[in-house]
A and B are shown apart, each in its own frame.
Chain A
Amino acid sequence: SAVISQKPSRDICQRGTSLTIQCQVDSQVTMMFWYRQQPGQSLTLIATANQGSEATYESGFVIDKFPISRPNLTFSTLTVSNMSPEDSSIYLCSVRQARGEQYFGPGTRLTVT
């Protein structure tokens, strides 16, 4: 199993600013992902965080808006840039070891005013 922590757990931000979310895993993992979950909705994959190289973004998400870092096998950050109220959501870090169980962090609840 993997235990994932995220910081911050929640934040209220003003439009036009940026927020960086941190994800820390208690063990080395192959795959790390960032998801967005709007209230009452399902999960949407933003990107796969690749260690030592640029993240792989899903359709509709771009690096300028959601820059991602992954300096090692246990840590990643997601930045939500130039925020607008439409970015209000829960952002979830997730990890996986090949085709095994996928684990999720507790999420970061972001509100943009």
Chain B
Amino acid sequence: GESVGLHLPTLSVQEGDNSIINCAYSNSASDYFIWYKQESGKGPQFIIDIRSNMDKRQGQRVTVLLNKTVKHLSLQIAATQPGDSAVYFCAGESGGSYIPTFGRGTSLIVHP
């Protein structure tokens, strides 16, 4: 298996700022990564994914960066809004397992 961990348990930002959530992984065989958002009382929701043959992928207001050299990925949220307040999880998979290993989670708090 692999371990996937997050550097900071809580991140507080002001509305309109850009947010960066970091994640480290241990398994160099990991080849697929996903970011999830979990709002209070709900199940995790897929945000964006990235395969190991890429180092950057952009979505709507979100960008995921992957650095395989140091086994690190990040989720960048542009112009953070109060609705972005949630816990964010990274997850990684390897070898076509289809079973992601989830990181610890970072709580993003957006102040209006």
- Chain A residues with CB under 8 Å of chain B are 4, 31, 33, 41-45, 48, 92, 94, 96, 98-99, 101-107
Contacts and interface: CB of A to CB of B under 8 A. Distances in A.
B99 to A, nearest CB: 6
Interface in B14-52: 32, 34, 41-46, 49
B103 interface: yes
A6 B46 CA distance: 18
> Chain B's interface: helix, strand, loop or mixed, by majority?
loop
Contacts, number: 41
A45 B45 contact: no
Given A42-B103, A42-B104, A107 B98 contact: no
The 4 closest A-B pairs by CB, nearest first: A104-B43, A43-B102, A42-B102, A101-B46
Nearest to A93: B43
B46 A43 contact: no
Contacts of A4: 43
